[in-house]
Amino acid sequence: MSARHAPLWPVWLMLLLAAMLELLPLPGGLSRLGPPWTAMVVIYWALMWPGRVAIGTAWLAGLLLDVLQGSLLGQHALSLSVTSYLVLRFHLQMRIFPLWQLTMTVFCLLLLEAFLRLWIDGVAGDARAGLMRFAPAVTGLMVWPLLMALLDRSRERLERRESRFT
């Protein structure tokens, strides 16, 4: 229960790293399969530290992604804040899910996030590549357990360090 005072800058560092990972060019046809790192990191922290990392953080991270990727300003911001709201809403249920069930829930959230962006693009008049848009969510589904293990470790370290000092 020490999440309340743990420093927030590591979370921001992770979000920056995630945004950079999304910009990393993957070879050839793989580039369309790059997992939505930022969305996954946002989901993780909204799940684990819901009182601290929530809609506002998600919105800012989305805005960063919009600037970096040159998409419509506010597009990722909207989709990520809606996603983080859902996580916030159901975090108590989601936390007691077994890993496979949590992974499936995250997959659904990633699909929803991709769908929101597709929808916005549709309204703005440039919807394209229909099904390929959901490919990153599938890759996200595959890397989620790994990412979660990695982030769990750093979160535990953060919380432990904090409790040592207070």
Binding residues (CB under 8 A) for another protein: these are: 1, 3-4, 16, 19-20, 22-26, 31-32, 34, 50-52, 54-56, 59, 62-64, 67-75, 77-78, 81-82, 85, 88-89, 92, 95-96, 120, 124, 126, 128-129, 132-133
Min dist CB 71 to another protein, Å, is 6
Distance between CA atoms of residues 57 and 84, nearest Å: 9
Min dist CB 137 to another protein, Å, is 13
Q: Which is nearer to another protein, 70 or 98 (CB)?
A: 70
Q: Which is nearer to another protein, 32 or 160 (CB)?
A: 32
